[in-house]
Structure 1
Amino acid sequence: MTTVHGSSYRFIWFGLEMVSLFIHFTCLLPLLIGTPVTRAFMPRLNGATFLGPSNALSPVNVAHSRNRGIFCMRSNEMITVEGVSVVLLAGGVGKRMKADRPKQFIELLGKPVLLHSLEIFSTLPGVNRIVIVLDKSYRQEFSFLQEEDPRIVFADPGKERQDSVFNGFSQTLPDASVVCIHDSARPLVSQSAVLASLRDGSVHGAAVLGVPMKATVKESADGEFVLRTMNRSRLWEIQTPQVIKPDILSEAFALVTEKGLEVTDDVSMVEQVGRPVKLTMGEYTNIKLTTPEDIGVAEGFLRERAEGKL
Protein backbone atom coordinates (compact mmCIF):
# COMPACT_ATOMS: atom_id res chain seq x y z
CA MET A 1 0.00 0.00 0.00
CA THR A 2 1.40 3.36 -1.04
CA THR A 3 1.41 6.12 1.56
CA VAL A 4 1.24 9.79 0.53
CA HIS A 5 3.18 11.89 2.99
CA GLY A 6 2.28 15.44 4.05
CA SER A 7 5.10 16.91 1.98
CA SER A 8 3.59 15.31 -1.11
CA TYR A 9 0.21 16.85 -0.32
CA ARG A 10 1.86 20.24 0.03
CA PHE A 11 3.62 19.80 -3.31
CA ILE A 12 0.36 18.91 -5.09
CA TRP A 13 -1.45 21.85 -3.42
CA PHE A 14 1.34 24.22 -4.49
CA GLY A 15 1.11 23.01 -8.10
CA LEU A 16 -2.63 23.54 -8.21
CA GLU A 17 -2.24 27.05 -6.81
CA MET A 18 0.28 27.91 -9.55
CA VAL A 19 -2.09 26.67 -12.25
CA SER A 20 -4.93 28.73 -10.75
CA LEU A 21 -2.77 31.87 -10.61
CA PHE A 22 -1.69 31.40 -14.23
CA ILE A 23 -5.31 31.10 -15.39
CA HIS A 24 -6.35 34.22 -13.48
CA PHE A 25 -3.38 36.17 -14.81
CA THR A 26 -4.15 35.11 -18.39
CA CYS A 27 -7.73 36.34 -18.09
CA LEU A 28 -6.93 39.58 -16.28
CA LEU A 29 -4.04 40.70 -18.49
CA PRO A 30 -6.22 41.72 -21.46
CA LEU A 31 -8.44 43.77 -19.14
CA LEU A 32 -5.45 45.53 -17.63
CA ILE A 33 -4.19 46.59 -21.07
CA GLY A 34 -7.66 47.51 -22.33
CA THR A 35 -8.28 44.55 -24.64
CA PRO A 36 -11.47 42.46 -24.31
CA VAL A 37 -10.77 38.88 -23.29
CA THR A 38 -12.70 37.42 -26.19
CA ARG A 39 -10.54 39.27 -28.70
CA ALA A 40 -7.19 39.25 -26.98
CA PHE A 41 -5.88 36.09 -28.61
CA MET A 42 -7.55 36.29 -32.03
CA PRO A 43 -5.23 36.39 -35.06
CA ARG A 44 -4.85 39.73 -36.80
CA LEU A 45 -4.14 40.85 -40.35
CA ASN A 46 -3.67 44.46 -41.45
CA GLY A 47 -4.97 45.58 -38.08
CA ALA A 48 -8.27 43.71 -38.50
CA THR A 49 -9.54 41.10 -36.06
CA PHE A 50 -10.80 37.87 -37.60
CA LEU A 51 -13.65 36.09 -35.93
CA GLY A 52 -12.91 32.68 -37.43
CA PRO A 53 -14.42 30.73 -40.31
CA SER A 54 -18.17 30.70 -40.94
CA ASN A 55 -20.22 27.60 -41.52
CA ALA A 56 -22.41 26.97 -44.53
CA LEU A 57 -25.59 28.26 -42.91
CA SER A 58 -24.40 31.31 -41.01
CA PRO A 59 -23.52 34.84 -42.16
CA VAL A 60 -19.94 35.39 -43.17
CA ASN A 61 -17.42 36.56 -40.59
CA VAL A 62 -15.78 39.69 -41.87
CA ALA A 63 -13.18 42.34 -41.12
CA HIS A 64 -12.38 45.53 -42.94
CA SER A 65 -8.95 46.24 -44.37
CA ARG A 66 -7.17 49.57 -44.41
CA ASN A 67 -7.62 49.92 -48.17
CA ARG A 68 -11.41 49.66 -47.75
CA GLY A 69 -11.67 46.18 -49.17
CA ILE A 70 -13.65 43.46 -47.46
CA PHE A 71 -11.86 40.45 -45.96
CA CYS A 72 -14.15 37.44 -45.66
CA MET A 73 -13.34 34.22 -43.88
CA ARG A 74 -14.77 31.12 -45.56
CA SER A 75 -13.70 27.56 -44.83
CA ASN A 76 -10.37 28.78 -43.45
CA GLU A 77 -9.74 30.79 -46.62
CA MET A 78 -9.38 34.56 -46.75
CA ILE A 79 -11.27 36.17 -49.64
CA THR A 80 -10.85 39.83 -50.51
CA VAL A 81 -13.89 41.50 -52.08
CA GLU A 82 -13.11 44.89 -53.58
CA GLY A 83 -14.45 46.92 -56.49
CA VAL A 84 -18.11 46.22 -55.75
CA SER A 85 -20.67 48.00 -57.95
CA VAL A 86 -24.17 48.11 -56.45
CA VAL A 87 -27.33 48.41 -58.55
CA LEU A 88 -30.16 49.60 -56.31
CA LEU A 89 -33.54 49.17 -58.00
CA ALA A 90 -35.96 51.96 -57.06
CA GLY A 91 -38.01 52.41 -60.22
CA GLY A 92 -41.06 50.32 -59.38
CA VAL A 93 -44.59 51.67 -59.09
CA GLY A 94 -45.81 49.44 -56.25
CA LYS A 95 -49.53 49.29 -57.12
CA ARG A 96 -50.29 46.66 -54.46
CA MET A 97 -49.10 49.05 -51.74
CA LYS A 98 -52.11 51.31 -52.47
CA ALA A 99 -50.19 54.40 -51.38
CA ASP A 100 -49.99 57.93 -52.78
CA ARG A 101 -46.39 57.31 -53.85
CA PRO A 102 -44.17 54.38 -54.89
CA LYS A 103 -43.29 52.13 -51.97
CA GLN A 104 -39.59 53.02 -52.06
CA PHE A 105 -40.51 56.56 -50.99
CA ILE A 106 -42.82 55.60 -48.12
CA GLU A 107 -41.27 56.44 -44.76
CA LEU A 108 -40.20 53.85 -42.21
CA LEU A 109 -39.63 55.43 -38.80
CA GLY A 110 -39.33 58.84 -40.43
CA LYS A 111 -36.96 57.89 -43.27
CA PRO A 112 -37.82 56.83 -46.85
CA VAL A 113 -37.45 53.14 -47.64
CA LEU A 114 -34.93 54.00 -50.36
CA LEU A 115 -32.61 55.69 -47.86
CA HIS A 116 -32.80 52.74 -45.47
CA SER A 117 -31.64 50.46 -48.28
CA LEU A 118 -29.01 52.88 -49.55
CA GLU A 119 -27.48 53.19 -46.09
CA ILE A 120 -26.83 49.45 -45.96
CA PHE A 121 -24.54 49.60 -49.00
CA SER A 122 -23.07 53.10 -48.69
CA THR A 123 -21.46 52.18 -45.36
CA LEU A 124 -19.84 48.99 -46.69
CA PRO A 125 -16.12 49.21 -47.50
CA GLY A 126 -15.17 47.91 -50.93
CA VAL A 127 -18.19 49.52 -52.64
CA ASN A 128 -16.89 51.82 -55.40
CA ARG A 129 -20.09 52.62 -57.28
CA ILE A 130 -23.79 52.78 -56.34
CA VAL A 131 -26.23 53.02 -59.24
CA ILE A 132 -29.74 54.02 -58.18
CA VAL A 133 -32.28 53.06 -60.83
CA LEU A 134 -34.78 55.86 -60.32
CA ASP A 135 -37.37 57.61 -62.47
CA LYS A 136 -36.31 61.10 -63.54
CA SER A 137 -39.41 62.65 -61.98
CA TYR A 138 -38.08 61.75 -58.51
CA ARG A 139 -34.40 62.54 -58.97
CA GLN A 140 -34.63 66.17 -57.96
CA GLU A 141 -35.91 65.08 -54.57
CA PHE A 142 -32.86 62.84 -54.10
CA SER A 143 -30.24 64.93 -55.93
CA PHE A 144 -28.55 65.69 -52.60
CA LEU A 145 -27.35 62.09 -52.50
CA GLN A 146 -24.85 62.70 -55.30
CA GLU A 147 -23.56 65.81 -53.54
CA GLU A 148 -22.93 63.82 -50.36
CA ASP A 149 -21.50 60.71 -52.02
CA PRO A 150 -19.66 60.92 -55.38
CA ARG A 151 -19.98 57.14 -55.81
CA ILE A 152 -23.71 57.55 -56.49
CA VAL A 153 -25.07 57.81 -60.05
CA PHE A 154 -28.59 57.44 -61.45
CA ALA A 155 -30.00 55.24 -64.21
CA ASP A 156 -33.40 55.09 -65.88
CA PRO A 157 -35.84 52.29 -65.06
CA GLY A 158 -36.94 50.05 -67.92
CA LYS A 159 -40.22 48.45 -68.91
CA GLU A 160 -39.40 45.18 -67.13
CA ARG A 161 -37.12 44.35 -64.23
CA GLN A 162 -34.42 42.93 -66.49
CA ASP A 163 -34.44 46.19 -68.48
CA SER A 164 -33.93 48.21 -65.29
CA VAL A 165 -31.09 45.93 -64.24
CA PHE A 166 -29.49 46.29 -67.67
CA ASN A 167 -29.67 50.10 -67.46
CA GLY A 168 -28.15 50.00 -63.99
CA PHE A 169 -25.47 47.54 -65.08
CA SER A 170 -24.54 49.92 -67.91
CA GLN A 171 -23.62 52.55 -65.31
CA THR A 172 -21.37 50.31 -63.21
CA LEU A 173 -17.61 50.74 -63.24
CA PRO A 174 -15.80 48.84 -66.03
CA ASP A 175 -13.34 47.30 -63.57
CA ALA A 176 -15.98 46.11 -61.08
CA SER A 177 -15.21 42.73 -59.54
CA VAL A 178 -18.87 41.90 -58.86
CA VAL A 179 -22.24 43.54 -59.45
CA CYS A 180 -24.55 43.48 -56.43
CA ILE A 181 -28.22 43.92 -57.42
CA HIS A 182 -30.72 44.78 -54.70
CA ASP A 183 -34.39 45.75 -54.49
CA SER A 184 -34.74 48.99 -52.55
CA ALA A 185 -38.05 47.58 -51.29
CA ARG A 186 -35.99 45.20 -49.10
CA PRO A 187 -34.67 47.68 -46.50
CA LEU A 188 -34.20 45.06 -43.78
CA VAL A 189 -31.36 43.02 -45.24
CA SER A 190 -28.42 42.92 -42.82
CA GLN A 191 -24.88 43.80 -43.78
CA SER A 192 -23.71 40.36 -42.70
CA ALA A 193 -26.09 38.78 -45.22
CA VAL A 194 -24.89 41.17 -47.93
CA LEU A 195 -21.28 40.28 -47.16
CA ALA A 196 -22.09 36.58 -47.31
CA SER A 197 -23.58 37.01 -50.78
CA LEU A 198 -20.56 39.05 -51.91
CA ARG A 199 -18.28 36.30 -50.66
CA ASP A 200 -20.16 33.57 -52.50
CA GLY A 201 -20.58 35.63 -55.65
CA SER A 202 -16.87 36.36 -55.83
CA VAL A 203 -16.02 32.67 -55.40
CA HIS A 204 -18.69 31.02 -57.56
CA GLY A 205 -19.42 33.75 -60.10
CA ALA A 206 -23.05 34.18 -59.07
CA ALA A 207 -24.88 34.00 -55.75
CA VAL A 208 -28.32 34.79 -54.42
CA LEU A 209 -29.71 35.20 -50.92
CA GLY A 210 -32.50 32.81 -50.06
CA VAL A 211 -34.20 30.98 -47.22
CA PRO A 212 -35.72 27.49 -47.13
CA MET A 213 -39.44 27.57 -47.80
CA LYS A 214 -41.55 27.31 -44.64
CA ALA A 215 -45.02 27.11 -46.14
CA THR A 216 -46.46 24.13 -47.97
CA VAL A 217 -46.65 24.98 -51.68
CA LYS A 218 -49.24 23.46 -54.03
CA GLU A 219 -49.40 23.71 -57.80
CA SER A 220 -52.65 24.37 -59.65
CA ALA A 221 -53.25 24.32 -63.39
CA ASP A 222 -56.53 26.25 -63.34
CA GLY A 223 -56.43 28.20 -60.07
CA GLU A 224 -59.31 26.17 -58.64
CA PHE A 225 -58.06 22.67 -57.93
CA VAL A 226 -54.79 21.31 -56.60
CA LEU A 227 -52.64 19.62 -59.21
CA ARG A 228 -49.92 18.46 -56.85
CA THR A 229 -48.02 19.33 -53.68
CA MET A 230 -44.44 20.45 -54.18
CA ASN A 231 -41.55 18.92 -52.26
CA ARG A 232 -40.91 21.72 -49.77
CA SER A 233 -37.51 20.37 -48.75
CA ARG A 234 -36.15 21.36 -52.16
CA LEU A 235 -37.77 24.81 -52.38
CA TRP A 236 -36.10 28.10 -51.51
CA GLU A 237 -37.62 31.57 -51.29
CA ILE A 238 -35.28 33.85 -53.21
CA GLN A 239 -34.33 37.34 -51.99
CA THR A 240 -31.86 40.07 -52.90
CA PRO A 241 -29.09 41.04 -53.15
CA GLN A 242 -28.10 38.87 -56.08
CA VAL A 243 -24.38 39.05 -56.83
CA ILE A 244 -22.96 38.31 -60.29
CA LYS A 245 -19.56 38.79 -61.88
CA PRO A 246 -19.73 41.35 -64.74
CA ASP A 247 -18.54 39.00 -67.49
CA ILE A 248 -21.18 36.42 -66.55
CA LEU A 249 -23.89 39.10 -66.38
CA SER A 250 -22.88 40.39 -69.84
CA GLU A 251 -23.05 36.87 -71.25
CA ALA A 252 -26.47 36.35 -69.65
CA PHE A 253 -27.90 39.60 -71.00
CA ALA A 254 -26.67 38.76 -74.50
CA LEU A 255 -28.44 35.39 -74.44
CA VAL A 256 -31.67 36.73 -72.95
CA THR A 257 -31.77 39.51 -75.55
CA GLU A 258 -31.01 37.14 -78.41
CA LYS A 259 -33.75 34.68 -77.42
CA GLY A 260 -36.25 37.33 -76.28
CA LEU A 261 -36.60 35.75 -72.85
CA GLU A 262 -38.33 37.33 -69.86
CA VAL A 263 -37.02 36.55 -66.38
CA THR A 264 -38.32 37.47 -62.94
CA ASP A 265 -34.98 37.73 -61.17
CA ASP A 266 -31.35 38.32 -62.08
CA VAL A 267 -29.76 34.95 -61.46
CA SER A 268 -32.43 33.36 -63.68
CA MET A 269 -30.48 34.84 -66.58
CA VAL A 270 -27.33 33.18 -65.26
CA GLU A 271 -29.18 29.87 -65.13
CA GLN A 272 -30.09 30.32 -68.81
CA VAL A 273 -26.42 30.29 -69.83
CA GLY A 274 -25.77 27.17 -67.78
CA ARG A 275 -23.69 28.82 -65.08
CA PRO A 276 -23.93 27.69 -61.43
CA VAL A 277 -25.66 29.95 -58.91
CA LYS A 278 -24.71 29.64 -55.24
CA LEU A 279 -27.52 29.72 -52.69
CA THR A 280 -26.43 31.95 -49.80
CA MET A 281 -28.39 31.59 -46.57
CA GLY A 282 -30.46 34.73 -46.05
CA GLU A 283 -32.75 35.87 -43.24
CA TYR A 284 -36.50 35.57 -42.84
CA THR A 285 -36.61 39.21 -41.74
CA ASN A 286 -35.40 40.30 -45.21
CA ILE A 287 -38.96 40.85 -46.41
CA LYS A 288 -39.97 42.72 -49.54
CA LEU A 289 -42.41 45.56 -48.91
CA THR A 290 -45.40 44.77 -51.10
CA THR A 291 -48.67 45.45 -49.24
CA PRO A 292 -49.67 48.02 -46.58
CA GLU A 293 -49.38 45.39 -43.84
CA ASP A 294 -45.68 45.02 -44.59
CA ILE A 295 -44.95 48.57 -43.41
CA GLY A 296 -45.94 47.86 -39.81
CA VAL A 297 -44.00 44.60 -39.83
CA ALA A 298 -40.90 46.33 -41.19
CA GLU A 299 -41.06 49.10 -38.59
CA GLY A 300 -41.36 46.48 -35.87
CA PHE A 301 -38.23 44.72 -37.13
CA LEU A 302 -36.35 48.04 -37.31
CA ARG A 303 -37.28 48.89 -33.71
CA GLU A 304 -36.16 45.48 -32.48
CA ARG A 305 -32.90 45.80 -34.39
CA ALA A 306 -32.28 49.25 -32.89
CA GLU A 307 -32.89 47.81 -29.41
CA GLY A 308 -30.52 44.92 -30.08
CA LYS A 309 -33.31 42.34 -29.92
CA LEU A 310 -32.90 41.25 -33.53
Structure 2
Amino acid sequence: MIAPAGSCDRFMICVMLCRNCLDCGGRLAQTSKHLDELFGENDMIAGLVVAGGKSERMGPQADKAFLSLGTQPVLAYSMLAFENCTDIDTIILVVRKDRLSAARGLVQLYGCSKVTKVLPGGSRRQDSVCNGLAEMDEEVTIVAVHDGARPCVTPQLISETIKSAKRYGSGVAAAKITDTVKEVPKGMVVSKTIDRAHLWAVQTPQTFKKELLEQGYAAANKKRLTVTDEASAVELVHKGIRLVPSSWRNIKITVPEDLAIATSLLDV
Protein backbone atom coordinates (compact mmCIF):
# COMPACT_ATOMS: atom_id res chain seq x y z
CA MET A 1 0.00 0.00 0.00
CA ILE A 2 1.31 3.46 -0.92
CA ALA A 3 0.89 6.22 1.61
CA PRO A 4 -1.09 9.23 0.31
CA ALA A 5 0.81 12.40 -0.45
CA GLY A 6 1.24 14.57 2.60
CA SER A 7 0.86 11.71 5.05
CA CYS A 8 3.14 11.31 8.04
CA ASP A 9 5.89 8.70 8.26
CA ARG A 10 3.77 6.61 10.61
CA PHE A 11 0.80 6.34 8.24
CA MET A 12 1.25 2.63 7.42
CA ILE A 13 1.50 1.69 11.09
CA CYS A 14 -1.57 3.76 11.81
CA VAL A 15 -3.59 2.07 9.07
CA MET A 16 -2.53 -1.42 10.13
CA LEU A 17 -3.27 -0.90 13.81
CA CYS A 18 -6.33 1.31 13.82
CA ARG A 19 -9.22 0.90 11.38
CA ASN A 20 -10.49 4.35 12.22
CA CYS A 21 -7.30 5.83 10.79
CA LEU A 22 -8.53 5.00 7.29
CA ASP A 23 -10.83 7.97 7.64
CA CYS A 24 -7.98 10.39 8.20
CA GLY A 25 -6.83 10.26 4.58
CA GLY A 26 -3.22 10.29 5.69
CA ARG A 27 -3.36 13.84 6.92
CA LEU A 28 -0.42 14.50 9.20
CA ALA A 29 -2.27 15.90 12.18
CA GLN A 30 -5.02 13.28 12.22
CA THR A 31 -2.65 10.34 11.76
CA SER A 32 -0.39 11.55 14.55
CA LYS A 33 -3.40 12.00 16.81
CA HIS A 34 -4.54 8.43 16.26
CA LEU A 35 -1.07 7.08 16.97
CA ASP A 36 -0.75 9.19 20.10
CA GLU A 37 -3.96 7.61 21.39
CA LEU A 38 -2.80 4.11 20.43
CA PHE A 39 0.58 4.35 22.12
CA GLY A 40 -0.42 6.36 25.17
CA GLU A 41 1.46 9.50 24.21
CA ASN A 42 -1.26 11.62 25.80
CA ASP A 43 -0.95 9.86 29.15
CA MET A 44 -0.19 11.89 32.27
CA ILE A 45 2.29 9.88 34.29
CA ALA A 46 2.90 10.16 38.02
CA GLY A 47 5.75 8.86 40.12
CA LEU A 48 4.73 7.74 43.60
CA VAL A 49 7.82 7.37 45.79
CA VAL A 50 6.99 5.62 49.05
CA ALA A 51 9.19 5.95 52.13
CA GLY A 52 6.76 5.62 55.01
CA GLY A 53 8.03 2.39 56.57
CA LYS A 54 9.27 1.81 60.10
CA SER A 55 12.74 0.56 59.05
CA GLU A 56 12.73 -1.93 61.92
CA ARG A 57 15.55 -4.04 60.46
CA MET A 58 17.86 -1.02 60.31
CA GLY A 59 17.89 -0.67 64.08
CA PRO A 60 16.19 1.46 66.75
CA GLN A 61 14.95 4.90 65.68
CA ALA A 62 16.35 4.49 62.16
CA ASP A 63 14.58 5.84 59.09
CA LYS A 64 16.48 4.34 56.17
CA ALA A 65 15.07 6.85 53.70
CA PHE A 66 16.96 9.64 55.46
CA LEU A 67 20.20 7.82 56.25
CA SER A 68 23.28 9.25 54.56
CA LEU A 69 24.48 7.51 51.42
CA GLY A 70 27.59 9.30 50.26
CA THR A 71 26.72 12.98 50.25
CA GLN A 72 22.94 12.56 50.00
CA PRO A 73 20.12 10.91 51.95
CA VAL A 74 18.91 7.59 50.54
CA LEU A 75 15.58 9.10 49.48
CA ALA A 76 17.25 11.82 47.42
CA TYR A 77 18.60 9.32 44.88
CA SER A 78 15.16 7.91 44.04
CA MET A 79 13.58 11.35 44.02
CA LEU A 80 16.20 12.67 41.60
CA ALA A 81 15.91 9.63 39.31
CA PHE A 82 12.18 10.33 38.91
CA GLU A 83 12.82 14.06 38.54
CA ASN A 84 15.27 13.35 35.71
CA CYS A 85 13.03 10.83 33.94
CA THR A 86 11.53 12.61 30.94
CA ASP A 87 8.46 10.35 30.99
CA ILE A 88 7.43 11.49 34.48
CA ASP A 89 5.10 14.49 34.67
CA THR A 90 4.49 14.74 38.40
CA ILE A 91 5.83 13.18 41.61
CA ILE A 92 4.26 12.50 44.99
CA LEU A 93 6.40 11.60 48.00
CA VAL A 94 4.93 9.61 50.88
CA VAL A 95 7.00 9.62 54.08
CA ARG A 96 6.61 9.06 57.80
CA LYS A 97 4.55 11.73 59.53
CA ASP A 98 7.54 12.87 61.55
CA ARG A 99 9.57 13.33 58.36
CA LEU A 100 7.24 15.58 56.38
CA SER A 101 9.28 18.73 57.01
CA ALA A 102 12.54 16.94 56.25
CA ALA A 103 11.14 15.59 52.97
CA ARG A 104 9.89 19.02 51.91
CA GLY A 105 13.34 20.36 52.71
CA LEU A 106 14.90 17.78 50.38
CA VAL A 107 12.55 18.76 47.57
CA GLN A 108 13.59 22.39 47.95
CA LEU A 109 17.29 21.61 48.39
CA TYR A 110 17.54 19.56 45.20
CA GLY A 111 15.16 21.70 43.17
CA CYS A 112 12.75 18.91 42.32
CA SER A 113 10.09 20.88 40.48
CA LYS A 114 8.04 17.79 39.57
CA VAL A 115 7.29 17.01 43.22
CA THR A 116 3.84 18.46 43.80
CA LYS A 117 2.88 16.82 47.09
CA VAL A 118 4.56 15.38 50.18
CA LEU A 119 2.14 13.21 52.15
CA PRO A 120 2.16 11.22 55.39
CA GLY A 121 2.34 7.44 55.12
CA GLY A 122 0.17 4.83 56.80
CA SER A 123 0.88 1.92 59.10
CA ARG A 124 1.36 -0.45 56.14
CA ARG A 125 2.99 0.03 52.77
CA GLN A 126 -0.34 -0.36 50.98
CA ASP A 127 -1.83 2.34 53.20
CA SER A 128 0.94 4.71 52.13
CA VAL A 129 0.34 3.92 48.45
CA CYS A 130 -3.41 4.40 48.85
CA ASN A 131 -2.78 7.76 50.53
CA GLY A 132 -0.83 8.81 47.47
CA LEU A 133 -3.45 7.54 45.03
CA ALA A 134 -6.21 9.37 46.89
CA GLU A 135 -4.39 12.71 46.50
CA MET A 136 -3.40 12.20 42.87
CA ASP A 137 -4.72 14.46 40.12
CA GLU A 138 -7.63 13.01 38.16
CA GLU A 139 -5.71 13.61 34.93
CA VAL A 140 -3.09 11.01 35.88
CA THR A 141 -3.51 7.80 33.86
CA ILE A 142 -0.34 5.86 34.71
CA VAL A 143 1.38 5.53 38.10
CA ALA A 144 4.93 4.34 38.74
CA VAL A 145 5.25 3.27 42.38
CA HIS A 146 8.77 3.07 43.78
CA ASP A 147 10.40 2.20 47.10
CA GLY A 148 12.24 5.25 48.38
CA ALA A 149 14.79 2.81 49.81
CA ARG A 150 15.93 1.71 46.32
CA PRO A 151 18.48 4.43 45.54
CA CYS A 152 20.08 2.71 42.53
CA VAL A 153 17.04 3.07 40.29
CA THR A 154 17.71 4.82 36.98
CA PRO A 155 15.56 7.07 34.78
CA GLN A 156 16.00 4.45 32.05
CA LEU A 157 14.46 1.67 34.15
CA ILE A 158 11.58 3.94 35.12
CA SER A 159 10.95 4.65 31.44
CA GLU A 160 11.03 0.95 30.54
CA THR A 161 8.31 0.17 33.09
CA ILE A 162 6.23 3.08 31.78
CA LYS A 163 6.63 1.86 28.21
CA SER A 164 5.34 -1.56 29.27
CA ALA A 165 2.43 -0.05 31.20
CA LYS A 166 1.38 2.00 28.19
CA ARG A 167 1.31 -1.09 26.02
CA TYR A 168 0.13 -3.80 28.42
CA GLY A 169 -1.29 -1.95 31.42
CA SER A 170 1.57 -3.03 33.66
CA GLY A 171 5.35 -2.94 33.90
CA VAL A 172 7.07 -4.35 36.99
CA ALA A 173 10.85 -4.26 37.45
CA ALA A 174 12.22 -7.71 38.28
CA ALA A 175 15.49 -9.64 38.27
CA LYS A 176 15.88 -13.31 37.39
CA ILE A 177 16.78 -15.46 40.38
CA THR A 178 20.18 -17.10 40.02
CA ASP A 179 20.58 -18.74 43.44
CA THR A 180 19.18 -22.16 44.23
CA VAL A 181 15.94 -21.75 46.19
CA LYS A 182 14.83 -24.04 49.02
CA GLU A 183 11.43 -24.26 50.69
CA VAL A 184 11.74 -24.31 54.48
CA PRO A 185 8.36 -24.49 56.25
CA LYS A 186 9.87 -24.48 59.76
CA GLY A 187 12.90 -25.26 61.87
CA MET A 188 15.49 -24.62 59.14
CA VAL A 189 14.71 -28.02 57.64
CA VAL A 190 14.47 -28.10 53.85
CA SER A 191 11.28 -29.65 52.51
CA LYS A 192 12.12 -29.30 48.82
CA THR A 193 14.15 -27.48 46.20
CA ILE A 194 12.18 -25.13 43.98
CA ASP A 195 12.95 -24.96 40.28
CA ARG A 196 14.42 -21.49 39.77
CA ALA A 197 13.98 -21.56 35.99
CA HIS A 198 10.73 -19.62 36.19
CA LEU A 199 11.42 -17.53 39.32
CA TRP A 200 11.92 -13.78 39.32
CA ALA A 201 12.52 -11.43 42.25
CA VAL A 202 10.19 -8.47 41.97
CA GLN A 203 11.52 -4.96 42.63
CA THR A 204 10.25 -1.44 41.95
CA PRO A 205 9.28 0.65 40.02
CA GLN A 206 5.95 -1.14 39.62
CA THR A 207 4.02 0.80 37.02
CA PHE A 208 0.34 0.37 36.20
CA LYS A 209 -2.59 2.05 34.61
CA LYS A 210 -4.00 4.08 37.48
CA GLU A 211 -7.43 2.48 37.17
CA LEU A 212 -5.95 -1.02 37.55
CA LEU A 213 -3.94 0.01 40.59
CA GLU A 214 -6.97 1.54 42.28
CA GLN A 215 -9.09 -1.54 41.56
CA GLY A 216 -6.39 -3.84 42.91
CA TYR A 217 -6.00 -2.02 46.20
CA ALA A 218 -9.76 -1.69 46.57
CA ALA A 219 -10.03 -5.48 46.24
CA ALA A 220 -7.20 -6.06 48.74
CA ASN A 221 -8.74 -3.72 51.30
CA LYS A 222 -12.20 -5.21 50.82
CA LYS A 223 -10.79 -8.69 51.51
CA ARG A 224 -8.71 -7.30 54.39
CA LEU A 225 -5.54 -8.57 52.81
CA THR A 226 -2.09 -7.19 53.49
CA VAL A 227 -0.06 -7.11 50.28
CA THR A 228 3.63 -6.28 50.06
CA ASP A 229 3.67 -4.86 46.54
CA GLU A 230 1.44 -3.39 43.87
CA ALA A 231 1.53 -6.48 41.66
CA SER A 232 0.04 -8.59 44.47
CA ALA A 233 -2.88 -6.18 44.70
CA VAL A 234 -3.46 -5.96 40.95
CA GLU A 235 -3.29 -9.77 40.63
CA LEU A 236 -6.56 -9.87 42.57
CA VAL A 237 -8.39 -8.20 39.67
CA HIS A 238 -6.18 -8.72 36.62
CA LYS A 239 -4.03 -11.49 35.20
CA GLY A 240 -1.09 -11.23 32.85
CA ILE A 241 1.05 -8.69 34.72
CA ARG A 242 4.15 -7.90 32.68
CA LEU A 243 7.68 -7.92 34.10
CA VAL A 244 10.46 -5.63 32.92
CA PRO A 245 13.99 -7.07 33.23
CA SER A 246 16.03 -5.22 35.83
CA SER A 247 19.38 -5.75 37.54
CA TRP A 248 20.42 -6.90 40.99
CA ARG A 249 22.04 -3.46 41.27
CA ASN A 250 18.55 -2.13 41.99
CA ILE A 251 18.81 -3.20 45.63
CA LYS A 252 16.56 -2.18 48.49
CA ILE A 253 18.18 -0.78 51.61
CA THR A 254 16.89 -3.10 54.33
CA VAL A 255 19.76 -3.88 56.74
CA PRO A 256 22.87 -1.81 57.63
CA GLU A 257 25.10 -3.85 55.32
CA ASP A 258 23.04 -2.71 52.34
CA LEU A 259 24.30 0.84 52.77
CA ALA A 260 27.86 -0.28 52.06
CA ILE A 261 26.71 -2.20 48.97
CA ALA A 262 24.74 0.76 47.64
CA THR A 263 27.68 3.09 48.31
CA SER A 264 29.85 0.88 46.13
CA LEU A 265 27.24 0.53 43.38
CA LEU A 266 26.65 4.26 43.20
CA ASP A 267 30.36 5.04 43.60
CA VAL A 268 29.68 7.70 46.22
Q: TM over 0.5: same fold?
A: yes
Superposed CA RMSD in Å reads: 2.0
Q: Distance in 2 between matches of 1:253 and 1:111?
A: 33
Q: Contact conserved, 2:161 with 2:171, CA < 8 A, in 1? A: yes
Q: Contact conserved, 1:129 with 1:172, CA < 8 A, in 2? A: no
Residue number among 122, 135, 140 corresponding to 2:83 in the alignment: 122
Q: How does 1:177-256 map to 2 (within 5 A)?
A: 177-256=141-220
1:292 aligns with 256
Residue number among 135, 144, 148 corresponding to 2:105 in the alignment: 144
Q: CA deviation at 1:100?
A: 4.8
SS of 1:272's equivalent? coil
**Deviation string for 1:171-202 (max 9, x for gaps)?**
22211121000001000012211111111111
User: Match for 2:214: what amino acid?
Assistant: S
Q: How does 1:155-194 map to 2 (within 5 A)?
A: 155-194=119-158
**Deviation string for 1:98-132 (max 9, x for gaps)?**
26530110111110001111000011223222111
> Higher relative contact order by CA 8 Å / sep ≥ 6: 1 or 2?
2
Q: Distance in 1 between matches of 2:63 and 2:105?
A: 19
Unaligned runs of 5+ in 1: 1-44, 46-76
TM-score (norm 2): 0.80
Aligned residues: 229
**2:45 matches 1:84:** yes
Q: Contact conserved, 2:231 with 2:241, CA < 8 A, in 1? A: yes
Q: Contact conserved, 2:76 with 2:106, CA < 8 A, in 1? A: no
TM-score (norm 1): 0.69
Residue number among 58, 66, 83 corresponding to 1:105 in the alignment: 66
Q: Contact conserved, 2:100 with 2:120, CA < 8 A, in 1? A: no
Rg bigger for which structure?
A: 1
Unaligned runs of 5+ in 2: 1-8, 10-37
Q: Distance in 1 between matches of 2:215 and 2:79?
A: 28
Q: Contact conserved, 2:52 with 2:125, CA < 8 A, in 1? A: no
CA change 1:229–1:296 in 2 (3 A) is same
2:92 aligns with 131
**Deviation string for 1:122-179 (max 9, x for gaps)?**
1122322211111232122232355542632022211111111111111222111210
**Deviation string for 1:255-295 (max 9, x for gaps)?**
11221122111111111113321010011100001111111
Q: Distance in 1 between matches of 2:167 and 2:97?
A: 36
Q: Contact conserved, 1:207 with 1:267, CA < 8 A, in 2? A: no
